[in-house]
Amino acid sequence: MKKNYYLMSDGLLKRKENTLYFVNKDGKKPIPINKIYSIYAYGSLTFSSQSVHLLAKEGIPIHFFNYYGFYDGSFYPRETLLSGDLLVKQVEHYLNPGKRLWIAKKFIEGAAGNMEKVLGYYHVQNGIGKTVKDLTLSSNVTEAMNVEARMRSEYYSKMDEILPDGFKMEGRSRRPPENMVNALISFGNSMVYSTVISEIYNTQLNPTISYLHEPFERRYSLALDLSEMFKPILVDRLIFYMVNKRMLTEDDFEQKVDYCILNDGGRKKFIKEYDERLKKTIKHRELNRKVSYRRLIRLEAYKLIKHILGTQEYKPFVMWW
C-alpha cells in the first residue's frame, strides 16, 4: 500500500540508485520509492535533479507549503495519462454554458449535503438545505456562486455552536487567518486541495479545466472544484474532533497580533490525524467493497469522467453514513 510522506523538517532529498533518502539533522532516512503516493513538504526542502528524475519516472507529485503552512505549488510530474478525447469533451462541458452550470451546481449540492451532514452530526439546526434550493433560480455560474457564498456563511456561522469556549471562530478570515479555528481551516483546506491534485494526477482529467471555479483562478482549479465536497468531511469534522477532545491547545499555535498559524507541533498533530482519516475505510454501497476516504476522491473523478463521456449522469458525493 502506497502512502503519503510528510516531511516536516528542513532537509535534503537525494537519490542513490533507485532509492530516495531524506537527510536532515537527525540523519539519513530511506524512503522506498514503491511506497510513495505523494510527498508533502512543509520544511525547506533541497533536492537533486536525480531525485526529481526518479519521482517523475514513478509519477509521484511533491506538494510544497510555505513557512506559514500555506500551499505554494506542486511538482507535478509529466502527464502520462493523456486522453485527447476526454480533454476535448472536458473542454466542451466548460464551453457550453448549460453543461458547465449543470456540473457547477452539482458540486455545490454535494458540498451542501456534506455540510449538513457535519452539522447534523452535532445536532445543529441550519438553513443550508433551504438556501441551496435557490440554485434552481441561478441561471449562470456567478449566480450559483452567490448561493454557494450564502450557504457557506450560514455554515460557518453555525460552527461556533459546536466549538468550545476559547476556540470560537467568529467568522471566516483568510490570508491571514486571524484566530485558531481559522488557522486550522486554512491549513486543512490546503491539505485537501493537494490531496485532490494527487488524485486528479492519477486520472486522465486535465486539472486546469474546471466548472465551478474559473480555470484562471488557480493553476489546478479542478482541484478546487472537487475539494468543495470533501472539505467539510476531511477538514471541518477533524477540527471539531480534535478541538473538542482537547487534542489541540493554544500551545499548538503561533499567535501574533495580525495573524494566527499552527506551529510545528500543531501541524504534526493535525497532519497525523488527517492522514489517518485519509486511510480510514468505509464499505462502499455501490461497489460493495471497502474504500478509503482518499479513494472516494478518486471515485469522484471517475464519476466526472463518466459524465463527461456521456455514460452516466454525475451525482455528487454526499456522505451516506
Partner 1 sequence: MLSNSEKHLQVRGTEINYYFICKTKLWLFSHNIQMEQESESVSMGKQLHKKSYGREKKDFTIDNLISVDFIRRGETLELHEVKKSSKMEDAHRYQLLYYMYYLKKEKGIQNIIGFIDYPKLRKKEKVELTESEEKSLEGIIEGIGQIVHGTISKPEKKKICRKCAYYEFCWV
What is the contact surface with partner 1 in residues (CB under 8 A)? 59, 80-86, 202, 204, 284, 286-287, 291, 295, 298-299, 302-303, 305-306, 309-311
Q: Report the 3 state secondary structure along 49-97.
A: HHHHHHHHHHCCCEEEECCCCCEEEEECCCCCCCCHHHHHHHHHHHHCH
Least distance (Å) between residue 113 CB and partner 1: 17
Please provide the distance, in angstroms rounded to a whole number, between the alpha carbons at the two ends of the chain.
25
> Of 72 and 79, which CB lies nearer to partner 1 in the complex structure?
79
Using alpha carbons, list the distances in angstroms from residue 33 to 1, 3, 64, 256: 12, 10, 19, 40
Least distance (Å) between residue 50 CB and partner 1: 23
Q: Quick one: cell of 309? A: 463521456
> Of 9 and 312, which CB lies nearer to partner 1 in the complex structure?
312
Residue 128 DSSP SS3: helix
Residues in the chain: 321
Least distance (Å) between residue 160 CB and partner 1: 36
**If 0-12 CB within 10 Å is exposed, 13-18 middle and 19+ buried, where does residue 209 land?**
middle
> Of 255 and 312, which CB lies nearer to partner 1 in the complex structure?
312
> Of 269 and 303, which CB lies nearer to partner 1 in the complex structure?
303
Residue 21 β-bridge partners = 14, 30
- Are β-strands 27-31 and 19-24 bridged in parallel, bridged antiparallel, or unpaired? antiparallel
Side-chain half-sphere exposure of 271, counting CA atoms within 13 A: 22
> Of 272 and 306, which CB lies nearer to partner 1 in the complex structure?
306
Using alpha carbons, list the distances in angstroms from residue 38 to 7, 54, 244, 309: 11, 13, 30, 28
Phi/psi at 29 (5° precision): -120, 125
Least distance (Å) between residue 83 CB and partner 1: 4
> Of 173 and 204, which CB lies nearer to partner 1 in the complex structure?
204
Give the count of beta carbons closer than 10 Å to the beta carbon of residue 19.
Answer: 14
Least distance (Å) between residue 45 CB and partner 1: 26
Give the count of beta carbons closer than 10 Å to the beta carbon of residue 257.
Answer: 6
Least distance (Å) between residue 58 CB and partner 1: 10
Least distance (Å) between residue 312 CB and partner 1: 9
> Of 7 and 305, which CB lies nearer to partner 1 in the complex structure?
305
**Edge to edge, what strands does the sheet with 11-16 contain?**
27-31, 19-24, 11-16, 45-47
> Of 231 and 298, which CB lies nearer to partner 1 in the complex structure?
298
Least distance (Å) between residue 82 CB and partner 1: 6
Least distance (Å) between residue 295 CB and partner 1: 8
d(CA 60, CA 78): 10
> Of 43 and 59, which CB lies nearer to partner 1 in the complex structure?
59
